[in-house]
């Protein structure tokens, strides 16, 4: 079982470090194609939301991502943690509606909806002051 972890401070400039870290890990472990896309997408959406909206203005905090390979080239688990305000994106993020016409659409709001749809399983818990989201992505997801 392979696992890795990376933490950043809650600043927008640091988000790219997470993307570089994950894409390097995926490349090192020969994970490519659709499953690599979904892992990056899930991580980027959740960490971006956490850094943009999860912390009261002016406060510093941490966002941590862990990746576990559960079945080689088949199944991966992302754990995404932040010590911002308690927020369950799976329940509290505005729900996007894929049936809406263009004129009725807001520009945002698709991220969490897509993460739910691209993953096999998502769950949230609040623990010791941390938001902890677990996302399982496998070769069959979506």
Q: Which residues bind other proteins (CB under 8 A)?
A: 15-16, 19, 33-34, 37, 40-41, 44-45, 48, 96-103, 105, 107-108, 110-111, 113-114, 117-118, 142
Cα 2 vs. chain centroid, distance in angstroms? Answer: 19
Considering beta carbons, is residue 110 or 136 the nearer one to other proteins?
Answer: 110
118-124, long-range: CB < 8 A, 24+ apart = 118/38, 118/41, 118/42, 118/142, 119/38, 119/42, 120/75, 122/90, 123/90, 124/88, 124/89, 124/90, 124/91
Q: CB of residue 70 vs other proteins: minimum separation in angstroms? A: 21
Q: CB of residue 115 vs other proteins: minimum separation in angstroms? A: 9
Q: CB of residue 109 vs other proteins: minimum separation in angstroms? A: 8
Q: CB of residue 116 vs other proteins: minimum separation in angstroms? A: 10
CA-CA distances (angstroms) from residue 72 to 11, 68, 137?
A: 33, 10, 12
Rg (CA), the chain: 15
Residue 37: count of CB within 10 angstroms of its CB? 13
Considering beta carbons, is residue 33 or 56 the nearer one to other proteins?
Answer: 33
Considering beta carbons, is residue 105 or 125 the nearer one to other proteins?
Answer: 105
Considering beta carbons, is residue 113 or 124 the nearer one to other proteins?
Answer: 113
């Amino acid at each position: 079982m392979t696992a890795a972890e990376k933490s950043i401070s809650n600043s927008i400039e640091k988000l790219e470090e997470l993307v570089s870290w994950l894409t390097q890990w995926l490349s090192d472990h020969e994970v490519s194609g659709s499953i690599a896309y979904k892992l990056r997408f899930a991580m980027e959406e959740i960490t971006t939301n956490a850094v943009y909206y999860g912390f009261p203005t002016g406060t510093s905090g941490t966002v941590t991502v862990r990746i576990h390979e559960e079945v080689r080239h088949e199944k991966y688990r992302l754990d995404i943690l932040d010590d911002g305000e308690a927020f369950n994106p799976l329940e509290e993020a505005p729900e996007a509606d894929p049936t809406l016409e263009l004129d009725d659409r807001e520009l945002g709001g698709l991220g969490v909806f897509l993460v739910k749809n691209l993953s096999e399983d998502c769950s949230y818990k609040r623990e010791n002051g941390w938001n902890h989201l677990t996302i399982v992505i496998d070769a069959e997801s979506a």
